[in-house]
Amino acid sequence: MSGLNPNVVVGTCLLSLLWVGCGSDEEAAAPPLTRPVKTFFVEGGIADALRSFPGRVDASQRAELSFRVAGQLQQILVKEGDVVDAGQVLARLDPADYQLVYEDKKATFDNTQRNFERAKELVGDGNISRMDYDTMEANFRSASAALSQAEKDLEYTVLTSPFEGRVAARMAENFEEVSAKQDIFSLQNTSKLDIIIDVPESVVRMVRDIDVDINSPDSSITTGESITETRAWALFEGRSAERFPLKPKETATKANAQTQTFKVTFSMGAPTNFTVLPGMTAMVELDLSRFVHEDSVRRVPVRAVQGDRGLKSRVWILDPEAMTVSQREVTIGRMTGDMIQVTDGLDGGEEIISVGAPYLAEGMLVTRMKMTEQAVPRADDPL
């Protein structure tokens, strides 16, 4: 060391001190730690007021048409896709057998009718007994009923359209032997369409005072405020710029056993500028804003509600822009499973902390936990 220049030694020491000082500044500038949390969106806000559901298209009026008598198909007068009018003849059976039966019943009727007319004159003069007269009257009435049935069977050999619509399907070929009640045509009225969607329990819960009006021609919920009073529109693939207003038709008040959803049916007039057929799909937009009211009950996870120092219930609200949390006092109600009612303090649409709430402080920075993939059990895993 005796051979070193003192100025060099001092300079080296100063550089070392400066280097240590810079390292301390970098450590001080490190970003603050954040706490990972899971969040829950409170229902009933604007996000819940505007909802979209996939829907399926069906004909507003449809029927499976069949002959009421058996026989051989003699004429099929329409093909699949044809538009038919109400009362138009669609197909005919060979009427020969039924014509013979009709002629036989007509002859029997004429004979019994003449005998009955003569019996009316004879019984008054006492030339025949009252018992003979009653027998002739019974034979006449029986022959009249048989003739009416034979006449109807002859008429049933002609199949007509009960309403204006489109032939969706034909299930028989000409000259086939068909039985009574066997489906021959599927007829659909496509001038008006039904759009059917399945809505979850959370949407039904938003509706107040649901009552069923059984006298309604559409068998829909019409009393009080209900889901059938919402504004709704249909959108079709390739026509996203066009929205077609929907009219509520009926709402099921019993949930589907498998999906726990409620079926809602809307009706609309068929578009004139493009084709929409039963079996196609549509997207239905519902505006439920009129049912989002301040005094409605919200349901949140039990773990999201904590007690402060005064044992008052509170939840932590996330500011999604600053990613900080703030506490808010709430009033709680009944608990069902892992959810609890919040009767006051939440407006709906808030993002609250559902996991990690006990470890938070006012203004603390947080990060959303990533959704981890659950392991799929193997076939040889023990139960």
pLDDT recorded at residue 272: 86
The token pair that represents 12 in the structure block = 């080296």
| Spatial distance between the Cα atoms of 351 and 38, rounded to a whole number of angstroms | 10
> What residues does CATH 2.40.420.20 cover in the chain?
295-368
Distance of CA 165 to the CA centre of its chain: 24
- The closest of 330, 265, 273 to 302, measured between CA atoms, is 330
Are residues 57 and 282 in contact, defined by beta-carbon separation less than 8 angstroms?
yes
How would you classify residue 175: left for phi > 0, otherwise alpha for psi between -120 and 50, otherwise beta? left
**Could you report the average pLDDT of every consecutive run of 10 residues in the chain (383 residues)?**
49 48 52 84 68 91 95 96 95 96 96 92 83 93 96 96 94 95 94 92 59 39 47 86 88 88 91 89 85 67 89 92 93 87 84 91 90 50 49
pLDDT recorded at residue 32: 67
| Spatial distance between the Cα atoms of 326 and 349, rounded to a whole number of angstroms | 16
Q: Which CATH number fits domain 95-156: 3.90.650.10, 3.30.70.20, 1.10.287.470, 3.90.850.10?
A: 1.10.287.470
| Spatial distance between the Cα atoms of 147 and 129, rounded to a whole number of angstroms | 27
What does the buried/exposed string (b/e) look like for 2-20 if buried means 16 or more CB atoms within 10 Å of the residue's CB?
A: eeeeeeeeeeeeeeeeeee
CATH of domain 53-60+192-291: 2.40.30.170
Distance of CA 381 to the CA centre of its chain: 39
Are residues 170 and 69 in contact, defined by beta-carbon separation less than 8 angstroms?
no
Give pTM, 2 decimals.
Answer: 0.56
Q: What is the DSSP letter of 228?
A: G
CATH of domain 295-368: 2.40.420.20
> What residues does CATH 2.40.30.170 cover in the chain?
53-60+192-291
- The closest of 288, 264, 308, 303 to 348, measured between CA atoms, is 288
The H or E element containing residue 9 is helix 6-28
pLDDT recorded at residue 347: 80
In sequence order, which residues have a C-beta less than 8 Å from that of residue 23 and are 6 or more positions away? none
The single residue listed with the structure tokens 């029997």 is 108
pLDDT recorded at residue 231: 81
Burial class of 300 by CB neighbour count within 10 A (0 to 12, 13 to 18, 19+): buried
pLDDT recorded at residue 288: 76
